[in-house]
Amino acid sequence: MLGSIAFLLMTSSIILSTRLEVFDDWFGGLDRMYQVHRVAGVFAALTALVHFFGVPKELPEGVDPVANAIFPSGPLGMLGLIFLVIGLFIALNRKIRYSRWRPTHKVMSLVYFLIFGHFMMAPGIFFERFSASGIILIIAAAIGFSSMTGCGNSATRAC
């Protein structure tokens, strides 16, 4: 559940980064929207950390170890978490100039892809892809990925 919440928070942050003009009215301006984007990103990283420390490190009974070895979700999640924590540190460090911060912030699309792969490869005992919650996460991922590719279209401001 914590992993799902972290993913939905990250998706929300990505959607806000599109800077759609409709969000200006909802949030009371671009500055407020960026504040919510930042808070959602911070809470996504913190929730992902709690998820990491709360997940059993050994495969539970009923999980096929061969299938898990062929398609391991753990390494994808670990890479995503490492990049997410590094990105969080860079984003919250006020000493890092914007010119250095911005390129590293663009790596978050890679993190999003890794996290998506992590939950899609997770053993069914942890995540049922075609349950109601699984379908919500897949729809959220589709919206998140389309928001990342929407930069530069007529609906968004210049990136």
How far apart CA 33 and CA 131 sit, in angstroms, is 32
Look at the chain and report how many structural domains it folds into.
1
HSE-up (13 A, CA, CB side) for residue 127: 20
How far apart CA 80 and CA 45 sit, in angstroms, is 10
Residue 66, domain member (yes or no): no
For residue 158, what pLDDT band results from cuts at 50, 70 and 90?
very low
State the residue range of the domain holding 30.
2-58+72-149
Q: What is the pTM of this model?
A: 0.79
Report the pLDDT value the prediction gives residue 125, as an integer from 0 to 100.
60
Report the pLDDT value the prediction gives residue 96, as an integer from 0 to 100.
83
DSSP state of 72: -
Residue 15, domain member (yes or no): yes
Report the pLDDT value the prediction gives residue 152, as an integer from 0 to 100.
41
Each residue of 85-134: pLDDT tens digit?
888 888 888 888 878 778 877 788 889 999 998 888 776 666 676 788 88
